[in-house]
Structure 1
Amino acid sequence: MRQKLFDSILKHAENEYPNEACGLIVDTGKTQKFIPCKNMSDNPKEHFLISPDEQLEAEKQGEIIMIIHSHPDSPMLVPSEFDRIQCDYSGIEWGIVSYPEGDFCTISPRVNRDYTGRQWLLGYADCWALIMDYYQREFNITLKNYSVPHEWWEDGKENIYDDNWQAEGFIEVDLKDIKIGDIIMMKLNSNVTNHAALYVGDNLILHHSYGQLSSRTPYGKYFRDRTVRIVRNKERFDAK
Structure 2
Amino acid sequence: MLTITQALHDQIVAHARQDHPDEACGVVAGPVGSGRPERFIPMLNAARSPTFYEFDSGDLLKLYREMDDRDEEPVVIYHSHTATEAYPSRTDISYANEPGAHYVLVSTADTDDAGPFQFRSFRIVDGEVTEEEVKIVEAYG
TM-score (norm 1): 0.41
Structure of larger gyration radius: 1
SS of the equivalent of 2:87 reads: coil
Using the alignment, how far apart are the partners of 2:98 and 2:23 within structure 1?
A: 18
Q: 1:50 aligns with which of 55, 59, 65?
A: 55
Q: Structure 2 stretches of 5 or more lacking a match?
A: 129-141
CA positional deviation for 1:112: 8.3
Using the alignment, how far apart are the partners of 1:31 and 1:45 within structure 2?
A: 26
Determine what percentage of the aligned residue pairs are the same residue. 25
Using the alignment, how far apart are the partners of 1:18 and 1:103 within structure 2?
A: 16
| Matched AA of 1:70 | S
Q: What root-mean-square deviation, in Å, do the aligned CA atoms of Structure 1 and Structure 2 show?
A: 2.4
1:57-206 maps to which residues of 2 (within 5 A)? 57-59=62-64, 60-61=66-67, 62-74=72-84, 76-87=85-96, 89-91=97-99, 92-99=101-108, 100=111, 101-111=116-126
Aligned to 2:46: 40
Using the alignment, how far apart are the partners of 2:105 and 2:126 within structure 1?
A: 20
SS of the equivalent of 1:10 reads: helix
CA positional deviation for 1:2: 1.1
Aligned residue pairs, count: 110
Where relative contact order (Cα < 8 A, 6+ residues apart) is larger, the structure is 2
CA positional deviation for 1:95: 1.0
TM-score (norm 2): 0.66
